[in-house]
Amino acid sequence: MRDVSFGQYYPVKSPVHRMDARAKLIFVIAYIVLLFLIPTVDSSLKRGVSLGDYTVRVAAAYFAILLFMIIVVILSKVPFVKVLKSIKAVIFLVVMTAVIMLLFYSGQATHVYFESGIISISLEGIMSAVTMALRLFFLVIGPSLLTLTTTPVELTDGIERLLMPLSYIKVPVHDIAIIMSIALRLIPTLIEETDKITNAQKARCADFDSGNIFKRAKALIPVLVPLLISSFRRADELAYAMDSRCYRGAKGRTRMKVMKFGIRDLIGLFVIVAVFFVVLMFIYDYFGVATALYKVALGIL
Amino acid sequence: MSFIRLENVSYTYSKGAQNEVRAVKDLSLDIEEGDLVALVGHNGSGKSTVAKLMNGLLVPTSGKVTVDGMDTANKNLLFDIRKNVGVVFQNPDNQMVATIIEDDVAFGPENLGLDPKEIRRRVDWALKSVGMYEYREGAPFRLSGGQKQRIAIAGVLALKPRAMILDESTSMLDPVGKKEIMDIVLKLNREEKITVIMITHFMDEAALADKIFVMDDGDLRLSGGKEILLSPVLEQMGLNAPPAVSIAKKLRAAGMDIGEVFTPEQLAEEICRSL
């Protein structure tokens, strides 16, 4: 079976695993917001922050986030390799974005190395490419750590509870949650099935690996059609199975695992607030922390 | 009154359309509580449709199905009917709702609206009954077919139904998996007094039942105790007698003194006795 790290639960017992799914969801949202609060090169330059200052501040901020993530990963007992594997799925996107940033940077630039037509490579461009790559990297790491430490059931439960207020305006929150959890549950099954069908077609001399991109896409049709048909059949049977296990939507349904916002989650809340504060302190140079750091760095160099 | 009763039941798929199929034709049968029943027939005989009729997944086109006196045509009673009659289907992969085994088993009792502690008790009990308790925190898709099907049985068992229908539940399993499932089912029938209805085309499984119904072309052909496995009508319908029965027959023809047997164990005993 192909390796799909994104969205795969890693079953160990750890403080991070035991946290309330709702709390974890909120923390991940806060974490994403934090990543977007780190300004781009261009906007900092416009605010009158020098490139040197900016570099130090952003480096300090990302270092703080990195340190935080390393601690979380260690606490979660998920191997680092497993976490990094989630990057594999988006590595192309990260590289592409960085390259485009590098080549087409159009903001203020003082150190231009190369210029030809719309392409220009400058120190500012390099910086924005690096920060963008870092942002994307951390953007993927956070949510994938969430799915590695939270079972899909807990996750959908958490989303369901968090969105509960919406059910007052007739949003079918429970149905959305159950659809999500079944989709997650079927991913490995469908991957297995795709492999099986692919092999069956290969055994009948189907060729998936040669020709141009259109030819290859066309070669996938004999895989996708049976896959689609069998998915419908599966859905039908699953519906029967759910019906005969007394499913009737959210009506009168209780849960085996009751969520409790505990002391662990409170500590998590404090930590995330602290990280938020530290990062902003670096970025916006509160109390002159970043300036002091800059001087120290200069001193060492 | 019998626990599950089918009275002159017919069921037609896509009624009125050109491709309408009469899967069940004017069928009547009674199943008593605590019975171990086998419903046999070859593919297309309508036996799976009967399974779906028994807990209201399908409502008969004509006739009446009652479970403990409750009519399956009454939508308000469906919840109570399904609480009493659970179905284990053929493909374990298509019955799992959750990614973690214990969460999947909990799905049924959660739908019943039970207290979290009671759900936990039932899930633990159901998983222990099928011998999968140690796996409770794992993911089902790494298990063998037999193990997956045991989880599916636990999922139904956690509802504490009075009857369990196994709709070709062993047909996708290897001999080891098949035996695992049959052992569990027999144990549940014996110890928990759960009514078991096995729908199968394997005659060696049918040989374990106390009562056997044989279906052909949507209709009931034979019904009775194990003795009907000896009936020549079975072979006319293209169903083979269980291996133990046909071996005994051949041994008898070869001059050995073999009594009436239905299972491999009985056959072994008879052979030992006659030697």
Give CA–CA dist B81/B79, Å, rounded: 5
The pLDDT of A152-161, averaged and rounded, is 82
Q: Which of B13, B103, B142 is the best substitution to test chain A (most A C-beta atoms within 10 A)?
A: B103
More confident residue, A230 or A281: A230
Pairing between strand B4-13 and B62-67? antiparallel
Residue A298 has pLDDT above 80, yes or no: no
| Secondary structure (3-state) at B115 | coil
Residue B42 has pLDDT above 90, yes or no: no
Residue A5 has pLDDT above 60, yes or no: no
Q: Which residue from B minimizes the CA distance to A240? A: B57
Q: Model confidence over B112-164: pLDDT tens digits?
A: 999 999 999 999 999 999 999 999 888 887 788 889 999 999 999 999 999 99
Per residue, what are the HEC states of A94-111?
Answer: HHHHHHHHHHECCCCCCC
Name, in order, each residue with C-beta under 8 angstroms of A166's C-beta and a sequence gap of 6 or more.
Answer: A173
Q: Which chain A residues have a beta carbon less than 8 Å from that of B52?
A: 240
pLDDT at position A212 is 81
- Per-position DSSP letters for B221-265, written without gaps between them: EEEESGGGGG-HHHHHTT-PPPHHHHHHHHHHHTT-------SHH
Give CA–CA dist B130/B154, Å, rounded: 6
Q: Model confidence over A88-100: pLDDT tens digits?
A: 878 898 999 999 8
Residue B47 has pLDDT above 70, yes or no: yes
Report long-range pairs for A186-193 (Cβ below 8 Å, ≥24 apart). Answer: A186/A234, A187/A4, A187/A7, A188/A1, A188/A4, A188/B139, A188/B141, A189/A234, A189/B93, A189/B141, A190/A227, A190/A231, A191/A1, A191/A2, A191/A4, A192/A1, A192/B141, A193/A227, A193/A230
Distance from CA of A274 to the nearest CA of B (A): 34
Tell me how far the alpha carbon of residue B256 is from its chain's centroid: 35
Q: Which chain A residues have a beta carbon less than 8 Å from that of B126?
A: none
pLDDT at position A68 is 92
pLDDT at position B71 is 93
Q: Model confidence over A101-132: pLDDT tens digits?
A: 888 887 777 777 887 777 888 888 888 899 99
Q: Look at B94 and A241 and tell me if their CB atoms are within 8 Å.
A: yes
- Give chain A's radius of gyration (CA, Å): 24
Residue A289 has pLDDT above 80, yes or no: no
Q: Considering chain B, what percentage of its residues have pLDDT values greater than 70?
A: 100
Does B139 contact chain A (CB < 8 Å)?
A: yes
pLDDT at position A171 is 86
- Per-position DSSP letters for B7-21, written without gaps between them: EEEEEEETTTSTT-E
**What are the residue ranges spanned by the domains of chain B?**
4-217
As a whole number, the mean pLDDT across chain A is 84
- For residues A128 and A97, the answer to whether their CB atoms sit within 8 Å is no
Tokens found for residue A146: 């969430």
In degrees and rounded to multiples of 5, residue A293 shows phi and psi of -60, -45
The fold of the B4-217 domain, in CATH, is Rossmann fold (3.40.50)
Residue A294 has pLDDT above 80, yes or no: no
Q: Which of A185, A245, A255, A257 is the best substitution to test chain B (most B C-beta atoms within 10 A)?
A: A245
Q: Which of B130, B135, B134, B103 is nearest to B119 (CA)?
A: B103
Does B68 contact chain A (CB < 8 Å)?
A: no
Distance from CA of A34 to the nearest CA of B (A): 31
Give CA–CA dist A173/B66, Å, rounded: 35
pLDDT at position A7 is 52
pLDDT at position A210 is 77
Residue A76 has pLDDT above 50, yes or no: yes
- For residues B164 and B86, the answer to whether their CB atoms sit within 8 Å is yes
Does B98 contact chain A (CB < 8 Å)?
A: yes
Tokens found for residue B71: 């009519």
Give CA–CA dist B181/B150, Å, rounded: 7
Give CA–CA dist A118/A140, Å, rounded: 30
Give CA–CA dist B11/B58, Å, rounded: 8
pLDDT at position B80 is 93
pLDDT-derived band at A189, boundaries 50, 70, 90: confident
Q: Which chain B residues have a beta carbon less than 8 Å from that of A258?
A: 116
Q: Which chain B residues have a beta carbon less than 8 Å from that of A259?
A: none
- Per-position DSSP letters for A248-280, written without gaps between them: BTBTT---SS-----HHHHHHHHHHHHHHHHHH
Question: Residues of A near B (CB-CB distance < 8 A)?
Answer: 9, 11, 151-153, 181-182, 184-185, 188-189, 192, 234, 237-238, 240-248, 252-258
Give CA–CA dist B183/B189, Å, rounded: 10
pLDDT-derived band at B238, boundaries 50, 70, 90: confident
Q: Which residue from A minimizes the CA distance to B75? A: A248
ipTM comes to 0.87
Task: Give burial (CB, 10 Å; 0-12/13-18/19+) of A69.
Answer: middle
pLDDT-derived band at B14, boundaries 50, 70, 90: confident
Q: Which of A141, A15, A151 is nearest to A68 (CA)?
A: A141
Angle of the A123-149 helix axis to the A91-103 helix axis, nearest 10:
160
- For residues B207 and B37, the answer to whether their CB atoms sit within 8 Å is no
Spatial strand order in the sheet of B219-224: B85-88, B163-167, B195-200, B36-40, B211-216, B219-224
The pLDDT of A195-216, averaged and rounded, is 84
pTM (global) more than 0.90: no
Q: Which chain B residues have a beta carbon less than 8 Å from that of A244?
A: 55, 57, 82, 85-87, 156
Give CA–CA dist B82/B7, Å, rounded: 19
- For residues B215 and B46, the answer to whether their CB atoms sit within 8 Å is yes
Residue A2 has pLDDT above 60, yes or no: no
pLDDT at position B273 is 84
